[in-house]
Amino acid sequence: AEIERDLARAIDAGELFLEYQPIVGVESRAVRSFEALLRWQHPEKGRIMPAVFIPVAEKTGLILPLGNWVVREACREAANWPAPAGVAVNVVGDQFKDSAFVDYVKQCLVEAGLAPGRLTIEVTESVFSVDETVIRESLCELRDHGVRVALDDFGVGFSSINNLRAFPIDQLKIDRSFARAMMETRRDAELVDIILKLGQTFQVATTVEGIETEGQLEFIRQRGASEAQGFLISAPVGADDVRRLLLKTE
Ligand code: G
Ligand code: G
Ligand code: MN
Ligand code: NA
């Protein structure tokens, strides 16, 4: 209850900020985009991570103002980066229930002066349990506008090949649990292989998350993954360090 009350004020109090984790091309190792990750600097409790407060925000409906703030801030900050560097924002199902959400996203792009193709909306497959029609229409409208759509945490939870057929998807993000597992068991290595082939079949980019070692990066390179994200490349960084990371790999 305390965390709810504090979270309700956190936006206006300026306690929220974004960190950015780079996503690189597997072959080039050049930074292509950054995933925006929400952080809360609580005045007494210190830094609180999204795994703690996003579930609270979803339960209380605060996810709507919070999620809108994230989209706006990410577009605003990404507009300062050299093109074509992109930004990816995590969006949950409830945000699509708000019929104004898609227009809000478009408005943020215009206000920031960010080309729609530089924004990716990341959804996990749990969004498809909201209302298929609403989700499909929202994603189609965003995509028609030029915004990219990524399926996050792919391979765990609700994974279904049918989602790739039924929804407009540009990118598969393979859950970070696979990065470790694929090096340990043959079964998991083959699963990663299958998911990468699935990506090729549907002509979507494939990003492997949680890449922590050169061995893992080489493993996915040989199997044709297009992008990598993880501590090997960089942990999430503050907005001030984004430019440095872009220059480093240019
Ligand atoms: O680094 P990390 O602890 O930030 O992220 C933990 C989880 O929180 C990830 O699954 C990530 O998708 C989620 N997350 C981070 N930022 C946001 C956000 O702005 N909105 C939503 N809905 N989830 C987020
Ligand atoms: O949206 P998503 O669930 O993918 O959020 C990314 C989360 O993964 C964040 O909590 C981020 O800090 C974490 N993360 C990013 N790279 C790595 C990594 O290489 N290893 C591990 N264990 N976690 C990572
Ligand atoms: Mn994500
Ligand atoms: Na993920």
CATH number for the domain harbouring residue 187: 3.20.20.450
What's the pLDDT score for residue 205? 98
Structural tokens at position 106: 């478009």
Instruction: Report the separation in Å between the CA atom of 89 and the middle of ligand 2, taken as the mean of its atom positions.
Output: 14
pLDDT band at 1, cuts 50/70/90? confident
63-78 and 101-112 are packed helices; what angle lies between their axes, rounded to 10 degrees? 30
Q: Of 151, 64, 136, 77, nearest to 104 (Cα)?
A: 64
What's the pLDDT score for residue 249? 62
Q: What is the mean pLDDT of residues 84-89?
A: 98
Look at residue 249 and tell me if it is in a domain: no
For residue 24, what are the β-bridge partners?
Answer: 31, 228
For strands 119-124 and 237-238, give the pairing: unpaired
Ligand nearest to the CA of 21: 2
What's the pLDDT score for residue 129? 86
Counting from 1 in the atom list of ligand 2, the atom nearest the Cα of 175 is 4
Look at residue 44 and tell me if it is in a domain: yes
pTM passes above 0.95: yes
What's the pLDDT score for residue 250? 56
What's the pLDDT score for residue 247? 85
Percentage of the chain modeled with pLDDT above 90:
91
Computed from CA positions of residues 154, 201, 221, 88, in that sequence, does the dihedral angle turn out positive or negative? negative
Instruction: Report the separation in Å between the CA atom of 230 and the middle of ligand 2, taken as the mean of its atom positions.
Output: 7
| Model confidence pLDDT, tens digit, residues 206-232 | 999 999 999 999 999 999 999 999 999
Percentage of the chain modeled with pLDDT above 70:
99
Ligand nearest to the CA of 50: 1
Cβ partners under 8 Å of residue 80, min gap 6: none
Q: How many domains does the chain have?
A: 1
Look at residue 245 and tell me if it is in a domain: no
Q: From the CB of 51, is ligand 1 less than 6 Å away?
A: yes
What are the φ and ψ backbone dihedral angles of 171, each rounded to 5 degrees? Answer: -150, 135
The mean pLDDT of the chain is 95
Ligand nearest to the CA of 229: 2
DSSP state of 213: S
Query: Pocket around ligand 2: residues whose beta carbon is below 6 Å from it?
Result: 21, 37, 90, 152-153, 176, 209-212, 230-231, 236
| Model confidence pLDDT, tens digit, residues 170-213 | 999 999 999 999 999 999 999 999 999 999 999 999 999 999 99
Instruction: Report the separation in Å between the CA atom of 244 and the middle of ligand 1, taken as the mean of its atom positions.
Output: 23
Instruction: Report the separation in Å between the CA atom of 8 and the middle of ligand 1, taken as the mean of its atom positions.
Output: 18
Indicate whether this complex's ipTM tops 0.85: yes
Rounded to 5°, angle at Cα 123 from 174 and 18: 95
Look at residue 238 and tell me if it is in a domain: no
Q: What is the mean pLDDT of residues 23-45?
A: 97
Question: Which residue among 11, 41, 54 has the greatest number of ligand 1 atoms within 8 angstroms of its CB, and so is best to mutate?
Answer: 54
Instruction: Report the separation in Å between the CA atom of 173 and the middle of ligand 4, taken as the mean of its atom positions.
Output: 6
Q: What is the mean pLDDT of residues 106-132?
A: 95
What's the pLDDT score for residue 248? 78
How many C-beta atoms surround the C-beta of residue 111 within 10 A? 12
67 is in which domain, residue-wise?
Answer: 2-232
Indicate whether 120 pLDDT > 60: yes
Residues flanking ion ligand 4, Cβ below 5 Å: 152-153
